A = this chain, B = another copy of it.
Amino acid sequence: MSLLTDFDQRDGKVLGEELHGFARELYPICRSITGDGVRRTLAMIEDRIPLQITEVPSGTQVFDWNVPKEWNIRDAFIKSSDGERVVDFKKCNLHVMNYSAPVRATMSLTELRPHLYSIPEKPHWIPYRTSYYKEDWGFCLSHNQLLVLKDDEYEVCIDSTLGDGSLTLGECYLPGRTADEVVISCHVCHPSLANDNLSGLTVATHLAKFLAGRELRYSYRFLFIPGTIGAITWLARNRSAAERIRHGLVLTCLGDTGPFHYKKSRRGNAEIDRAVAHVLSHETNSPEFLEFSPYGYDERQYCSPGFNLPVGCLMRSVWGSFPEYHTSADNLDFIHPAQLAESLHVCAAICDVLESNRRYRNLNPFCEPQLGKRGLYRSTGGGSIEKELNARLWVLNLSDGQHSLLDIAERSRIAFPIIRDAADLLHENGLLSVVSEDAAREKSSRDAAPNLAVARRGQL
């Protein structure tokens, strides 16, 4: 049974609730690029899938960067002279500018004001701001909150710590028949924001859960890492694992009701780009395809010129294009069970293409083989033919050792699973052979280098 057929046997409704439920559990945690929020998040992922946790000490050089100090926060507030917490971290962790240095002071509204961030156009929403690499502090609040602040002396407290510690990476490695890897990467550094990126994180976790224990062609590596510095740190410490990456996806913003958007890898026409384009075109409504650009999520690092990995970014609505982006309105109501489940289905369909894409050779290349005598043709001539028979003819015609099943699916405009099923049937009937190079590539490459994956994992 194909991966996708198997996947589609589960109840999408139940799955959607499971995904949303997981997001609900994760939502309250105050995450950042380092600290206990990430650790608690990874622990909750580890409840679902095997996870390897790596701590990289502050100050460690990673390419042109250094791992920053670790940030943690217990409490934060702005208290008016009458003792009321007019801004309270305990109510919403977005209220503190992420990575704010500790502060305990009393000051006038005038002194406080340069540290306050709001969105005048969306007076009910709290913005999300960060200051990772410049020591600073600040509060984010709704514009309505800001407007009612009186001229007063305020007690300002940010009970945070910023000191030596470590950056935490989570990694789930699922070994396949070959050491060639598919990497699925998502950032786990955002606090109470649902679409960006609890959606990506829950979909990735459940994709790993679905793939775990299955007989797989590729090895799959799921990275649950802080944005930018996490990807840089992982890449700096795993150069040879990076060389084994054949296909990759960054997952984010997968829970809202927008149509799918796929941002292509820097290569623009890699197999992953074509596989995603094919799946989205056949399985979803009005998908859109974006050319690579060097700003965005961690595809920025995977697609830096030294790596130039075939890694694209799968989204529904695009970051920055929806008003809720990076505000308190990107909450649990903004993401939906049905959309999360559909995103997971799309991911499974993409893996399904990657897993079974290969090239065949037609063993009767001169004229068509007689399908009828093998029960593979209709018996009464004169009318039109069905999709399945059409797929068989396409596979036979293009299986010249050059065209892959994905090539055939693209050229015939027939969905990949129908093409793959046709190839399986023709193969069973002795009409096709797998191109030997592809067959070799799919055979366990571990036989030759049995300790490779283990070695790589130990190194982390």
Contacts and interface: CB of A to CB of B under 8 A. Distances in A.
Interface of A: 62-65, 127-134, 136, 228, 231-232, 235-236, 266, 291, 293-295, 300-301, 303-308, 320, 326, 362, 364-370, 372-373, 379-385, 390, 393-394, 396-400, 411-412
Contact of A63 (B294, B305, B367): B367
Contact of A235 (B305, B320, B364, B366): B366
A379 B306 contact: no
B231 A367 contact: yes
Ranked nearest first, the 3 interchain pairs of A and B with the lowest CB-CB distance are A306-B365, A294-B397, A306-B366
A65 B295 contact: no
A131 B383 CA distance: 12
Given A64-B370, A369-B64, A381 B304 contact: no
Nearest to A393: B294
A412 B293 contact: yes
A361 to B, nearest CB: 9
A129 B383 CA distance: 8
A245 to B, nearest CB: 14
Interface of A is mostly: loop
Contacts of A393: 294-295, 300
Nearest to A65: B370
A380 B131 CA distance: 5
B379 A131 contact: yes
Contacts of A300: 368, 393, 397
A396 B63 contact: no
Contacts of A131: 379-381
A98 to B, nearest CB: 8
A136 to B, nearest CB: 7
Given A130-B382, A368-B300, A397 B64 contact: no
Contacts of A382: 127-130, 326
B381 A129 contact: yes
A397 B129 contact: no
A295 B396 CA distance: 11
A366 to B, nearest CB: 4
Contacts of A236: 366-367
Contacts of A400: 305, 308
A306 to B, nearest CB: 3
